[in-house]
Amino acid sequence: MSILSFSEATLQAMIEEMERDPTVFVMGEDIARQGGIFGQFKGLPDRFPGRVLDTPISETAILGSALGAALTGLRPVADMHFADFISVAYDELVNQIAKNRYMFGGQANIPLVVRAPDGIVPGAAAQHSQSVEGWLMNIPGLIMVSPSSPATAKGLLKSAIRSNNPVIYFEHKVLYPQKGEVPDKEFLTPIGKAEVRRAGKDVTIVAYSIMVQKALEAAQNLSKEGIEVEIIDLLTIKPFDLETIVTSTRKTHRCVIAHEGVVHGGAGAEIASQVQQEAFYYLDAPILRVGTKNVPIPFSPPLLDFVAPKVANIEQAVKQVLYREGR
């Protein structure tokens, strides 16, 4: 095992995959000259000259070019700088990248990764702090993953690069400096498979990205009160691992879904809907969701503290489904 930061783990994944496969290359704004605004591409241009490309400030051009490269047999990794900027290239992503394999009758693969730094950062405000996976939940043809640790950051990125389908790789900006153990040997984190981070008997918590860490902290606090929660790290947001969630929910009879995206219309709504369809007769309480309030992300620190989901919100939701307490 090595101790790496989340950012270093993604860089290691890029190095390994670019060494393994000469068709892998990277493109985006300021990644060659600057190494990425979060240092996630530092040193890569010197190691792989000609395969780390700075682009114009045009997300439309970045994703359009990446699609063309993927159709010709290359494996592009396109960096969005911030996940929020996916909106600029929405047509390229949802009407071209997501649909080309289907519209060509399966004759063409689209091995393309979109790296999308997301999540709330203090002071980044409404246009640079969003969790946008909810925008893409109902777009067939797209895979979405979201690691929660350095190890899963490396393993999921390697799997995404090797996939023959387009993968949106959401990487939370707050996680970049956080360190953890990463296996030294070759490993992949499978797409479409969740992991049980903590076993428990009372309530199932489904989370992904930074909310896994908040769920684990909430679990420690709740354990002191005799409440043992089971935590499922989703890892793949779409297609998510319904079987693992349902198995856990049938055991605990209660489910809380925690994500940093806006609750209204967020990924948790689809997860909750499918869980209740598969495990309705096992549920002893309604499924609850924890997430950001339905407003733009504020710049103001006090307002941000009010809007963003916290550990205490997860604890409150767990107690509500366990004891049926009012909010």
Q: How many Cα atoms are found within 13 Å in the side-chain-facing hemisphere of 21?
A: 18
Q: Is 59 a catalytic residue?
A: yes
Residue among 8, 92, 128, 172 flagged as catalytic: 128
Distance in angstroms (rounded) separating the CA atoms of residues 199 and 298: 35
Identity (one letter) of the amino acid at 81? H
Give long-range contacts, CB 8 A cutoff, 24+ apart: 11-15.
Answer: 11/39, 11/40, 11/41, 11/42, 11/43, 11/44, 12/154, 12/182, 13/153, 13/154, 13/155, 13/157, 13/158, 13/161, 14/41, 14/44, 14/77, 14/157, 15/44, 15/47
| Regions of the chain short of the pLDDT cut 50 | 326-327
Q: Which residues, 6+ apart, have CB-to-CB distance to 314 below 8 Å?
A: 205, 211, 214, 215, 218, 256, 258, 290
CATH 3.80.10.10, applies to 195-323: no
CATH 3.90.1010.10, applies to 2-182: no
| pLDDT score for 92 | 97
Q: CA triplet 89, 93, 97: central angle to 5 degrees?
A: 140
Q: CA triplet 7, 119, 83: central angle to 5 degrees?
A: 80
| pLDDT score for 326 | 44
Structure tokens given for 162: 């090797």
pTM value is: 0.95
From residue 200, alpha-carbon distances to 95, 194, 210, 223, 281 in Å are 42, 16, 20, 10, 20
Structure tokens given for 134: 């909810």
Domain residues of the chain, as ranges? 2-182, 195-323
Residue among 29, 59, 133, 315 flagged as catalytic: 59
What are the tens digits of pLDDT across the range 178-237?
999 999 999 999 999 999 999 999 999 999 999 999 999 999 999 999 999 999 999 999
From residue 191, alpha-carbon distances to 162, 188, 205, 234 in Å are 11, 9, 20, 10
* Average predicted confidence (pLDDT) for the chain: 95
Give yes or no on whether 2-182 and 195-323 have one common fold: yes
| pLDDT score for 47 | 94
Handedness of CA 61, 67, 73, 76 (dihedral sign): positive
| pLDDT score for 325 | 55
First to last CA, the chain: 44
8 Å CB contact between 78 and 113: yes
